[in-house]
Structure 1
Amino acid sequence: MCFLIAVVELIQSLVFLGNSMNLVRYFLNYMHYPVAQSSNMLTNFVGISYLLTIVVGYINDSYLPKLTAFVLYATIELLGVILLTYQAKNPNLLPPENETPSTFQAATLYIGLGAMAIGIGGTKATMPTHGADQLDHNKEGLISSFFNWYYIALMVAGILASTLMVWIEESYGWGWSFMISALLLCCSISIFSAGFSLYRCKKPSGSPIKRMIKVFVASTRNTNDTRSVEVHQSVKEQSYAKEKSYNKFKFLNKALNDDTIEVAQVEGTKSLLGLLPIFATTIMLNCCVAQSMTFSVHQGNFMNRKIFNFTITTQSISLVPLVVILVFIYLVEQSKRFYGNNKAINKIYEPHVRMGVGLVVSSVSMAVAAVVEYKRLKEFNEGNLMSAFWLMTQTLLLTFSEVNVVGGMLEFFYSKAPNGMRNLCTSLPWCSNAMGYFFSTMLVTACNSVSGIFGEAWIGGQDLNQDRLDLFYALLSFLSFINFIVFVIFVRRF
């Protein structure tokens, strides 16, 4: 069953990545929006898609069974893609040359994109938890392997999206791209539905937010009760005092004096509060990842991108690191078969260790990026073009970092999530992705404002060769290292 889920996720991610990687060109060439507005539209689309995972995670935990949830969200996404297909193939729904869209044309576009965003956020929030629910939770190695294969599916989708789908869009137009996306979504729904009779499906357990609010209210009310003088005021609290989690967020223990509050509710609230700071430390990584989709592309345009007599795109350079990491993950999975009983080896594979390694490597990748950009500027000022393949090292390191952090987050948050909150907690990695992109924009703006006070803004000009992107990368490296230290502190406390 997990194999079916991995295949479905591959198809879903292929549709999302295949369109989002090049969607800015659809806004520019088909809808005739200005460059800046097109870029903002794409950023908003991706960001909203990921942020919706939190909303969907809450809905799934509270009300919707996962089987119903996936079919619903995937169908909404399919309807959005069908609408965009109809628009791309119907000249009446596209603006004339050199004219911006009419209100009706723009509304059609936004409705289609909105439906896609809901579907993407819904399936991203549903699939990881549903896949892990099919496994025996007494065997942690199985859950770890599932999330590794889940991420392999994402990477294969990224490779196909950046090659096959982009080629279709450039060669045959967006009408064909959207049509193929619609067919792929139909396939994903059919493949997922084929396993209906075999899936394990847990029923929603009600609103986790309401349960948390009840714990906070009860703990506040009982803490303010001056009539109590004993340390352990109830049988439940006396029994709970023997648990390791008793001393964490101790103010919540007073909620146990309320007859309607159970120990599991208090522990669940504590677990979520402990996970939130760890989640916050992953945002910095995604801020670094955002640079590979923006500034790195601009760097490549000022570098030598020729192989023999053929000029490649900067985006194509990322294919080699993706393949290398894909092979690496496969070898890791194979090694588990031979060393699965070795405690020292298993320690390395623990999700929080992988996350820590990923955060350290992200700092190293930005340091390498700073050195490469410094050398590029030096070569450019001397009249030489540096090879674009120097970007491959930082891309490889950043991809390795992202794989470890995101894969570790999915496993860590799923395994540590309170019962009834697993959909919500496994949505946090995607939320971190969106917040990383937004934080990147804020950091660039703040960096330019501060550096502009002391001279010229580091990356405030129109010409990258007149900017100091190397200093910005160095700043990201420093912030990433501080972020890693904070992560270690929070993990140890958890």
Structure 2
Amino acid sequence: MAAGNTPVSGDAEALPTTAHGGRGGWKTTPFIIATAAGLTLAAGGWLNNLIVFLIQEFNIKSINAAQIFNVINGCTNFFPVIAAVVADSFLGCFSVIWISSLVSLLGLILLVLTATTDSLRPSNGATPSGFQYAVLFTALALVSIGLGGTRFTLATMGANQLTESHHQATYFIWYFFTLYVSSLTSATGIVYVQDNLSWGWGFSICLAATVFGFVVFLIGKRYYCRESQQGSPFASLAQVIVASFRKRRFAISSKSDDYYYGVKEVAVVGPTKSFRLLNRAALKIEGDILPNGLIAKPWNLCSVQQVEDLKTLIRILPLWSTSILLSTPIGIQASLVVLQALTTNRYLGPHFQVPAGSMIVFTLLSTAMCLSLFDHCIWPLWKKVIHKNPTLLQQIGIGHVLNITSMAVSALIESKRRARSHSMSILWLVPQLAIVGFGEAFHFPGQVALYYQEFPSNLKSMATAMVAVLIGVGFYLSTLLIDFVRRVSGWLPDNINDGRLDNVYWVLVVIGVLNFGYFLVCSWFYKYKNGEVREGDHSV
């Protein structure tokens, strides 16, 4: 992320320092970055070319393969929220990461076996047997769980090693850049190996990359500052709801001294006026507090901080929901563009053929290029024209606009592809992928920054996982939307040359425009934590 105001979670005292035995700090970053590189390289290797693998090796019909791809993408982006709950409440980031890496290893071993053992794959165009399906889906489930448990938990753990906001900013830009470069490498190198050598060699490289990341992560164990778990933050939030309900008959006081602030009882400012009904949870009544100052029953009385933490989540949820339909078109495009690529002329020169599963490389490349230009080109130009730095909400809004533009370009290109089919060069598909990649560079890191900045300090892992949840829900919705379109229209037959894929993209344009309007409304009413609008928070 760029220098300047940085997404930080909670107070500085809530973050680990390097004072405890010299742990934490920048010396941990190479281990975490290297781990992220290895695990991301492996994940991209099996995920990017999954549709082609299912079609060629398991004889699954193209649209069904695209549906499976969307479900798997949804899983890999939904599991991070489960990992975040476990990390924040019970095990901590370190344990969640090494356990998830081990799960990935088991899944990749099964994938290597499916690619190299004849009895685990159907032959001669046959339908896979129940046992073959079971092994395949077990492997995909394991690698999905492993990926979901590591990617965003690693981001949180790395940020927690640093106490200075500008240091966290630098860490985030390196972390995201690593993710995109690793994904770019796997989408080209590993996919090429799978298409031109063998699936067994391709999945074996993924296995080796996972082993590398796992070993490097464990080597850095002695340097990590490990956070101590203090119970479930989600139970703390639930206590606010229960306590406010139990005290529903009591009048809400306007005096700050009538509220509970914790053991120290420092009544600086009373609870905020928004969602005032929740303030009753912190209202002190007779019998709530023991002589030693502790709470007699946590489900009857909460601190003002607990109340404000829940209010923060409530305020940000509408804004968070606007990004669900931002992820859905991306999920649909990611799967259908592979089918489009299979119908085009994929040769660049007389000998080289672009693998259909490598089309994602153009999105990754454009995102990485855009990220590298933020500090030295895009943001200085923005400030020169607008005379102030962009806010995180403006950054996300630009992503919305670029996403809509990409879907419109996709519709126009698809109309041209239908007319020319195999005579059209695969390079015609590049602009739509490049535009959606530019959009990701704005909205994806912007969302991570916003949630990490705005979420309560005891929900750091959940903050970074929220973007993964968005992507996961988006992919699930993309599956449902494709299935709905197939049921009510003839736009998506198994042979897309007989359909109207361009109409699907135009529907996504309409959805994107409506969702952007919803985003503008939510942004207008949203106030950053502590009430101020933060200029200069243009972190990526």
Partner of 2:505: 473
Shift of 1:371: 3.0
Q: How many equivalent pairs are there?
A: 479
Please say if 1:391 is aligned against 2:429: yes
> TM-score, with normalisation over the residues of structure 1?
0.85
Partner of 1:482: 514
Residues 21, 284 of structure 1: alpha-carbon distance in 2 compared, 3 angstrom cutoff: same
Shift of 1:421: 1.1
| 2:51–2:357 contact (8 Å) kept in structure 1 | no
Please say if 1:63 is aligned against 2:90: yes
> Residue type matched to 2:144 in 1?
A
Instruction: Encode CA deviations 1:89-139: one digit per residue, 9 max, x unaligned.
Output: 3445445555555555444333333222221111023111111112224x2
Residue among 238, 241, 254 paired with 2:280: 254
Please say if 1:46 is aligned against 2:69: no
| 1:458–1:472 contact (8 Å) kept in structure 2 | no
Partner of 2:147: 120
Give the 5 Å matches for 1:164-183: 164-183=189-208
> Residue type matched to 2:392 in 1?
P
Instruction: Encode CA deviations 1:424-454: one digit per residue, 9 max, x unaligned.
Output: 22111111112111212333444566xx5xx
Shift of 1:488: 2.9
Higher alpha-carbon deviation: 162-171 or 57-66:
162-171
Please say if 1:422 is aligned against 2:460: yes
Residue among 231, 235, 238 paired with 1:206: 231
Report SS of the residue matched to 1:421: helix
Q: Distance in 2 between matches of 1:96 and 1:298?
A: 23
Residues 65, 369 of structure 1: alpha-carbon distance in 2 compared, 3 angstrom cutoff: same
Q: Distance in 1 between matches of 2:412 and 2:125?
A: 42
Residue among 372, 380, 383 paired with 1:330: 372
Q: Distance in 2 between matches of 1:277 and 1:14?
A: 34
| 2:85–2:462 contact (8 Å) kept in structure 1 | yes
| Structure 1, unaligned runs of 5 or more | none
| 1:168–1:176 contact (8 Å) kept in structure 2 | yes
Partner of 2:215: 190
Partner of 2:443: 405
Q: Distance in 2 between matches of 1:305 and 1:84?
A: 27
Report SS of the residue matched to 1:284: helix
Instruction: Encode CA deviations 1:239-294: one digit per residue, 9 max, x unaligned.
Output: 98947x71332221121115430111111111122222222111112112123223
| Structure 2, unaligned runs of 5 or more | 1-27, 289-300, 528-540
Residues 241, 442 of structure 1: alpha-carbon distance in 2 compared, 3 angstrom cutoff: farther
| 2:191–2:357 contact (8 Å) kept in structure 1 | no
| 1:237–1:253 contact (8 Å) kept in structure 2 | no
> Residue type matched to 2:505 in 1?
Y
Report SS of the residue matched to 1:427: helix
| 1:204–1:420 contact (8 Å) kept in structure 2 | no
Give the 5 Å matches for 1:67-466: 67-95=94-122, 97-137=124-164, 139=165, 141-223=166-248, 225=249, 228=251, 230-232=253-255, 235-236=258-259, 242=269, 246-257=272-283, 259=288, 260-309=301-350, 311-316=353-358, 318-320=360-362, 322-334=364-376, 347-348=389-390, 350-377=391-418, 379-380=419-420, 385-447=423-485, 457=489, 459-466=491-498
Residues 285, 229 of structure 1: alpha-carbon distance in 2 compared, 3 angstrom cutoff: closer
Partner of 2:534: none
Cα RMSD (Å) of the superposition?
3.4
Report SS of the residue matched to 2:221: coil
Flag the structure with higher helix content: 1
Higher alpha-carbon deviation: 83-92 or 388-397:
83-92
Q: Distance in 2 between matches of 1:164 and 1:146?
A: 26
Q: Distance in 1 between matches of 2:175 and 2:113?
A: 32
Q: Distance in 2 between matches of 1:246 and 1:38?
A: 50
| 2:105–2:210 contact (8 Å) kept in structure 1 | yes
Shift of 1:197: 2.4
Q: Distance in 2 between matches of 1:142 and 1:337?
A: 19
Report SS of the residue matched to 1:183: helix
Residues 337, 402 of structure 1: alpha-carbon distance in 2 compared, 3 angstrom cutoff: closer
Instruction: Encode CA deviations 1:398-443: one digit per residue, 9 max, x unaligned.
Output: 1111222111111111111112211122111111112111212333
| 1:65–1:202 contact (8 Å) kept in structure 2 | yes
Residues 33, 475 of structure 1: alpha-carbon distance in 2 compared, 3 angstrom cutoff: closer
**Percent of counterpart pairs with the same letter?**
25
Residues 229, 461 of structure 1: alpha-carbon distance in 2 compared, 3 angstrom cutoff: closer
Q: Distance in 1 between matches of 2:131 and 2:475?
A: 30
Report SS of the residue matched to 2:272: helix
Residues 20, 396 of structure 1: alpha-carbon distance in 2 compared, 3 angstrom cutoff: same
Shift of 1:301: 4.4
Report SS of the residue matched to 1:368: helix
> TM-score, with normalisation over the residues of structure 2?
0.79
